[in-house]
Amino acid sequence: MPDTGLDFDAALSFGGFELEARFSVAEGETLALVGPSGAGKSTCLGIIAGLVPPRAGRVVCGGEVWNDHDHGLILPPERRRVGMLFQEFALFPHLTLQQNVGYGARCRGRSRAEAEAVASRWLERLGLGGLGERRVAELSGGQRQRGALARALASEPRLLLLDEPFGSLDVATRGSVRSELRRFLAEFGLPTVLVTHDPVDALALGERIAVLEDGRLTQVGTREQLLSAPRSAFVAELAGLNLYRADLADGRGLKEARASGVSFHVLADDHHGPAFVAFAPAEVSLSRERLPGSAQNAFLGRVLEVRPLPDRLRVVLDVGVVLVAEVTREAAAALGLGAGRPLWASIKATAIHVYG
Amino acid sequence: MPLPDGHAGRPPSSLLWLGAAPLVFFIGLPLVALWLVSSPTELVRHLSSPLAVRALWLTLKTTLVATALAVALGMPLAYLLARVPFRGRDVVDTLVDLPITIPPVVAGVALLLAFGRRSLIGRQLDVLGVQIAFTSVAVVMAQVFIASPFFVKAARAGFEAVDGRLETAARTLGASPWRVFWTITVPLARPALLAGLVLAWARALSEFGATMMFAGNFPGRTQTLTLAVMTALESDLETAVAISALSLALAIAALLAARLAARRWSAPLA
């Protein structure tokens, strides 16, 4: 559906940096643009929003040409109808929340009363009703994020751009805000480009994931496509995440996340029902005997495979599900690693990400 | 728990007070003396002399015009210096600082050489029957020359402190650059702009040297309060004191106004 979505094709040189990328986002789809910092992700957003002029290429959104280098066209940002969510939200500190949300309507020539009505509607819709008179300084991190989203949506955008939307939130709020954002994105059905350096955010929110490394797209695909067939070191790292679909239930103190074949004890106060459970291989400790102490998750399994990485070993185990661990070479020698060997795998509950 | 903010590292308060007190007294004493010399009724009587009234009126008119000009002309320059990198920015920056550092008398001579009757510009204007030097216009020009750098410096710092991401956000919400400037940049820089405005006005109020050289000392036309003090000093010491006390009152009012304004508008409504 190229008529309602976004088609992006642009090149840019800046100092020694070269960016060349091409992707499209369908109506209602969320594309996660993920990659290490300095890869050019935010620059892509800047090009889409009209804040950065590209060296070449075309950007078309909703059938409207925003950039066309061959015809010398660069539409200014205020005429593009993008809703952009900034890293630290960029809410205007001298205005109330309501005035922030109504700002776009005022820019498009609405009267003050109309802008206030629009703002109230969006505040209500994002669960911020009654907070309209507050100033930015009087809002919590989560409220600011919703306020920034309300402001972006109230300007009637054709496209949403999210630049590291969780960057300034602490770990505790991050999880709940992430699942909240996921729900809103599904509800509003706008084509969305999410920029993040965090694979967990990309996996949680992106229906398709585009991996940008050093100014080039190294892989674009669905979560499953990426995880099953990584085509670059970054994706391999990303794929190396242990990721399971699970059902959350109340356990003793901690929540219990039941995946097919195994249950994890996790910290997830805000979640119920179906969720994703993810943790990094480096968070898994391997031992011959069950470890005494604080790890809330311990599974006995068999080694399926040992893969060497530049500075350590990646161990694939079967503990009822397939689980990947990483150990140093010294540790591997001490464990006497080899296929078929029984080992205990321990993971702390705090090391497990849970997201809806 | 937050760490204590460095109290441990500072010298004892008693010593600090001992060191700070002389300067506080040195600045405070003469200012207090200005008001203690004569009674309030005496002050008012001396201030109602034609010399004082005319000087006060002229000073208010010229300084307000000069401040308005400093703001109107200083705003674009301050924004340029704060936001637009260009070749020779350091040169322009230094140029703007110069009126603060050169002796005002020298500034007056320079203005005279540039705009006086025999200067290049002055000769052209003379043909048209227009003369600048030794007129009220010259008073305003001298004040703008001396005072506008104070506004430019403050405004520049104010613009620099505005988070550029807020301006970017406003653009994506549909605001033109012009609209961003007036609805985001200026309101956020407002405390600095107001501080600069008051500083510039106070400096224009105290202008003496450049005005003396470029505009002369003609009652009703170029004789501002400071020049009136000098004139009065030759014949009528009490009037000189009264005008000085008035100037001090104006300066205090300006500083108070700046503080109040900054508090009132630091979180303005749109």
Q: Which pLDDT band, with edges at 50, 70 and 90, does A356 fall under?
A: low
Stronger pLDDT, A275 or B20, i.e. the higher one: B20
The count of other CB atoms within 10 Å of the CB of residue B161 is 12
Q: Which pLDDT band, with edges at 50, 70 and 90, does A237 fall under?
A: low
Q: Which residues of B touch A87 (CB under 8 A)?
A: 165
Whole-angstrom Cα distance, residue B122 to residue A114?
A: 56
> 3-state DSSP helix/strand/coil percent for chain A, to nearest 5?
30, 35, 35
Distance from CA of A63 to the nearest CA of B (A): 19
Distance from CA of A223 to the nearest CA of B (A): 30
| A64: its two tokens | 């409207």
| A148: its two tokens | 């920034």
For A129, residues 6+ apart whose C-beta sits below 8 A from its C-beta are: A120, A123
Give the chain A residue nearest B173 (alpha carbons).
A104
Given a contact cutoff of 8 angstroms between Cβ atoms, the answer to whether B154 and B73 are in contact is no
Indicate the range of A211-225, A239-253, B108-122, B185-199 predicted with least confidence.
A239-253
CB–CB contact A99 B269 (8 Å): yes
* Nearest alpha carbon to residue A198 among A160, A159, A241: A241
Q: Which residues of A touch B173 (CB under 8 A)?
A: 78, 103-104, 107, 151-152, 155
Chain A contact for B184 (CB, 8 A cutoff): yes
Chain A contact for B268 (CB, 8 A cutoff): yes
Q: Which residues of B touch A151 (CB under 8 A)?
A: 173
Q: How far is CA B128 from CA A131, B163, B256, in A?
A: 64, 49, 45
Given a contact cutoff of 8 angstroms between Cβ atoms, the answer to whether B46 and B34 are in contact is no
pTM surpassing 0.80? no
The count of other CB atoms within 10 Å of the CB of residue B94 is 10
Given a contact cutoff of 8 angstroms between Cβ atoms, the answer to whether A291 and A298 are in contact is yes
Q: Which pLDDT band, with edges at 50, 70 and 90, does A250 fall under?
A: confident
State percent of chain B over pLDDT 90: 63
CB–CB contact A81 B174 (8 Å): yes
**DSSP-assigned letters across all residues of A199-231:** HHHHHHH-SEEEEEETTEEEEEEEHHHHHHS--
* Residue B85: burial class (beta carbons within 10 Å; 0-12, 13-18, 19+): exposed
Tell me, what's the pLDDT at B58?
95
Average pLDDT over residues A318-344: 87
Alpha helices (runs of H) in B37-131, residue ranges in sequence order: 40-47, 50-83, 89-101, 104-115, 120-127
CB–CB contact B169 A92 (8 Å): yes
Low-confidence ranges of chain B (pLDDT < 70): 1-7, 264-270
Q: What is the pLDDT of residues A149-203, one digit of tens each?
A: 999 999 989 999 999 888 767 767 777 778 888 888 888 889 999 999 887 788 8
